Amino acid sequence: MNESDKKQSVQFFYTAIAEHRLSCCDFLTECCQPHVSSTNEQHPTPYPLEKATFGLNCGSPIDYAELVSGLTVLDLGCGAGIDVFRAATIVAPTGIAIGLDMTDAMLNSALETKEKNGICNTIFLKGDIEAIPLPSSSVDRVMSNCVINLAPDKRKVFSEIFRVLKRGGLFSIADIVTYGVVPNDLRETPELWCSCISGALEKDIYLHIITETGFTDVTVLQEHPYSSYIFKTFTPVSLTVKARKP
């Protein structure tokens, strides 16, 4: 698969999830297990958000995003908007929460929740996380939950995060990495790529890209191997990491 094929496969896959109300539990059950902390309890909102989530998480980056009133926060690969709406509650009344996704069906679901509940301090954009459609130095925080592994070029993603963050801003990201190397033949399997497996990088390479991009204070916050999904040469791992733009 070339980069275009990978992105198209991801769009088809997550369109099907949105249209048929599926979740990651329908594909990889362990990613929905209780080791993932509950943002529902830690970040309650006054809105009913049942339609804003599909259980596509591998962590809870909002817990570490250091959100306060007045900030502008960007959620990359926001899906149906669950973390955008929770962030909007925290940064209100003067802050803004922005969701970016490349899948129309996910964005339509998010916009339906926004309009139904009148959540004014949210913005949803269609776009590619490798080319974020926002000005440089325009956001205080960046979050992402189990999405960057789906991007063909992780270096572009982190370069874009660095670009749009203000000086002193930070990102908080949950993602899938690996212990060990994913074989090239598995990287060419659309189902495994879309299921957050074959697009994952080795942990050390992933962290090196972050520091190479220019981020400082890189901190691994949570790390959980998915022992039920041990392949011959690698094990998928949910990793939550944060870092700051100096």
| pLDDT at res. 31 | 44
Count the Cβ atoms, other than its own, within 10 Å of residue 86.
25
- pLDDT tens for each residue of 198-246: 899 999 999 999 999 999 999 999 999 987 666 888 999 999 999 999 9
Residue whose token pair is 């129309």 = 104
Count the Cβ atoms, other than its own, within 10 Å of residue 120.
11
- Predicted confidence band at 10 (pLDDT cuts at 50, 70, 90)? confident
| pLDDT at res. 122 | 97
| pLDDT at res. 127 | 97
- pLDDT tens for each residue of 21-68: 555 444 444 444 434 444 445 566 665 565 555 556 789 999 999 999
Q: Report residue 175 as tokens.
A: 């993602």
Q: Which CATH number fits the domain that encloses residue 68?
A: 3.40.50.150
* Pairing relationship of beta strands 139-145 and 216-225 according to DSSP bridges: unpaired
Tell me whether residue 27 is exposed, middle or buried, using C-beta atoms within 10 angstroms of its C-beta: 0 to 12, 13 to 18, 19 or more.
middle
Tell me whether residue 50 is exposed, middle or buried, using C-beta atoms within 10 angstroms of its C-beta: 0 to 12, 13 to 18, 19 or more.
exposed
User: What is the residue-wise DSSP string for 225-237?
Assistant: E-GGG--SSEEEE
Domain count, the chain: 1
- pLDDT tens for each residue of 68-89: 999 999 999 999 899 999 999 9
Supply the pTM of this predicted model. Answer: 0.88
Q: Which domain holds residue 33?
A: 3-244
Q: Which CA distances in Å does 20 have to 54, 109, 119, 191?
A: 10, 12, 25, 17
